[in-house]
Amino acid sequence: MILYTPMQLELVLEGFDKIEYPDYQEIKYDGVSMVVEDAGFGRKKIVKLLSTNPYDYLRTDLFPGKLIEC
């Protein structure tokens, strides 16, 4: 990626090193590989599906943002 800007690089990247990212985990739930983040109390929030089966993306019980118990 190329960023064309008249600003100094230090100003553009200011605070970039202080960004905190969520702790993602890759798990297999109900036979489907997915990336989740901890939502507390033993629940996980689905971030994205990693399945190679197209029918897994059509399942109404598995979609990004859904909370699952595991």
What's the pLDDT tens digit per position in 8-61?
A: 989 988 988 888 888 999 999 999 999 999 998 999 999 999 999 999 999 999
End-to-end CA distance of the chain: 38
Give the pLDDT confidence score for residue 54 in this predicted structure.
95
Residue 36 lies in a domain: yes
CA-wise closest residue to 46 among 55, 54, 61, 58: 61
Residue 5 lies in a domain: no
User: At residue 1, does pLDDT exceed 90?
Assistant: no
Residue 13 lies in a domain: no
> Considering Cα of 33, then 37, then 39, then 45, what sign does the dihedral take?
negative
Residue 16 lies in a domain: no
Q: Which residues form the domain of 61?
A: 21-69
Query: What pTM did the predictor assign?
Result: 0.71
Residues paired with 70 in a beta bridge: none
User: From residue 51, how far is each of 19, 31, 32, 43 by CA, in Å?
Assistant: 29, 9, 6, 20
Q: How many domains are contained in the chain?
A: 1
Give the pLDDT confidence score for residue 63 in this predicted structure.
93
